[in-house]
Amino acid sequence: MLPDHILNQLVSIVGESRLLLDADDLQHFGIDRTTEWQAAPSAVVLPETVQEVQSIVRLANQHNLAIVPSGGRTGLSGGAVATDGELVVALDRLNKIIDFNPLDRSLTVGAGTITAQLQQFAEQQGLFYPVDFASSGSSQIGGNIATNAGGIKVIKYGMTRNWVIGLKVVTGTGEILELNKGLAKNNTGYDLRHLFIGSEGTLGLICEATVQLIQPPPESTVMVLGVNDFATIMDVLKCFSSGLDLSAFEFFSQSALEKVVAYRGHATPFQTSAPFYALLEFASADQGAIDQAMQLFEHCTEQGWVLDAVISQSLTQAKNLWKLREDISETLWQWQPYKNDISVRVSRMPDFIREVDQLVAQSYPDFEVVWYGHIGDGNLHLNILKPEGFPVDQFHANCVNVSAEMGQLLADYEGSVSAEHGVGLLKKEYLHYSRSAAEIDMMRSIKRVFDPNHIMNPGKVFD
């Protein structure tokens, strides 16, 4: 519990109703989707303005009080976990549409705006925000930016970073910075905006964001293909990407499909059972694109890569096919999975997949492994499921023992130990496999500039 004089000052900033001390609130706001740490914050505050955020940060500096930023709490790396009496600053109330400029096609929103609400607002204006993922209905744009969220259409549209054209932040020293101000061209030295994108709250608090919107994409079609084996997924990707304008190329295993069908009630895409499945989406404004897709399917079938396929005939069917992929992560939570979020360059995926498959077979012979991911941009999600009745601590210990081997493999392939979920607490022990000692020292130096008292999300990314 914080001393009364600090609590009184927090009340003077946000009001009594927006200072939360109840045990249930501390638990709710003090943890993200990870299950390895227990929430133990000292208090939760819910500011409604940038000025209130600034006052909170300045107060925290005066009293050497650590701050953990909290958004939609959908993170998977422990980046929003408060385990040691930190003050949680929840940005849920900074959720207003601040400005829309139809000429610039720019939208400025509070950091607490739900991603899906931003997408819906863009759609109402006849425009499109292309960053999308399964948690868009609960994640917040500030958290998306702080973790540089990716999602299901990176192959065409890139990461969140590509769409942020302005930020208003409060640094770890309590300064308000307006970064880039929505400019398309701004060649005036260091672009500090990009330091905050992906910084996981270690430099300061993102309070407002200006994002670029675009014209809606043309009508699209979804295909699900039954693939003969893991390695040939890359052959299928190469084939379809050579002939179609792909906006997504995902994959999942038969095990993943069985669990989603059983626990979500979705229909299987077709009767043929396949070891793996590829889901692809492509622009189909005319019949020519669909005819081309069918020719490519026939070629893949002749090569023995694809066993069966289904192509969407309506928007509803397309959405239902997407659910087979998007509902996997939520379905797997009941098995308390140990997750790996890894990536390499797409050109190196075939060899990498083969070596990962061998490592997993050797390391986890008694555990069920479920694969899925964004194969079109080189991102694999490897999930090891905890057997029923198996002690959690022992399960994690067994899984962690192999993470170093996985990290070394990624280092050999010049890949990333965290493709899109961030480092947080979960991956910082393995950061050195993807970043050199010089890079990590440089990141620490940058943090000291923005957060000299080390109050912003301490212990996350690096110590």
Region 331-348: mean pLDDT is 91
In a domain, 349, yes or no: yes
pLDDT category at 398 given cuts 50, 70, 90 is confident
How high is the pLDDT of residue 359? 87
CATH code, domain with 323: 3.30.70.2190
Same domain (yes/no): 188, 283: no
Would you say residue 251 lies in a domain? yes
pLDDT score for 449: 98
Whether residue 192 is predicted with pLDDT greater than 90 in this model: the reply is: yes
Do 409 and 317 share a structural domain?
no
Whether the per-residue pLDDT at 360 is higher than 90: the answer is no
The residue from 278, 311, 329 where one domain ends is 329
Q: In the predicted model, is pLDDT for residue 309 greater than 90? A: yes
Q: What is the CATH number of the domain that holds 193?
A: 3.30.465.10
**Domain end: 329, 348, 367, which one?**
329
Q: Say if residue 253 is in the same domain as residue 314.
A: yes
Q: What is the pLDDT of residue 362?
A: 87
Residue-wise pLDDT for 25-71, tens only, equals: 999 999 998 878 999 999 999 999 999 999 999 999 999 999 999 99
Instruction: Report the residue count for the chain.
Output: 463
Q: Are 56 and 45 in contact (CB under 8 A)?
A: yes
The pLDDT of 194-222, averaged and rounded, is 97
Burial call 309-333: b when 16+ CB within 10 Å, e when fewer: bbbbeeeeebeebbebbbbbbebbe
Q: What's the domain range around 395?
A: 336-422
What is the DSSP annotation of 403-452? HHHHHHHHHHTT-BSBSSS--TTTSGGGGGGTS-HHHHHHHHHHHHHH-T
Mean pLDDT score of the chain? 95
* Residue 427 domain-assigned (yes or no): no
Whether 117 is in a domain gets the answer yes
Q: What are phi and psi of 62, to 5 degrees?
A: -60, -35
The CATH code of the domain that includes 386 is 3.30.70.2740
Single-letter residue type at 101 = N
pLDDT at 401 over 80: no
Do 160 and 148 touch, CB atoms closer than 8 A?
yes
pTM score above 0.85: yes
pLDDT at 85 over 90: yes
CA–CA gap between residue 322 and residue 77 (Å, rounded)? 25
Number of domains in the chain: 3
Q: What is the mean pLDDT of residues 298-312?
A: 97
* Kind plus residue range of the DSSP H or E element containing 225: strand 220-227
Give the tens place of pLDDT for each residue, 366-392. Answer: 888 898 999 999 999 989 899 988 898
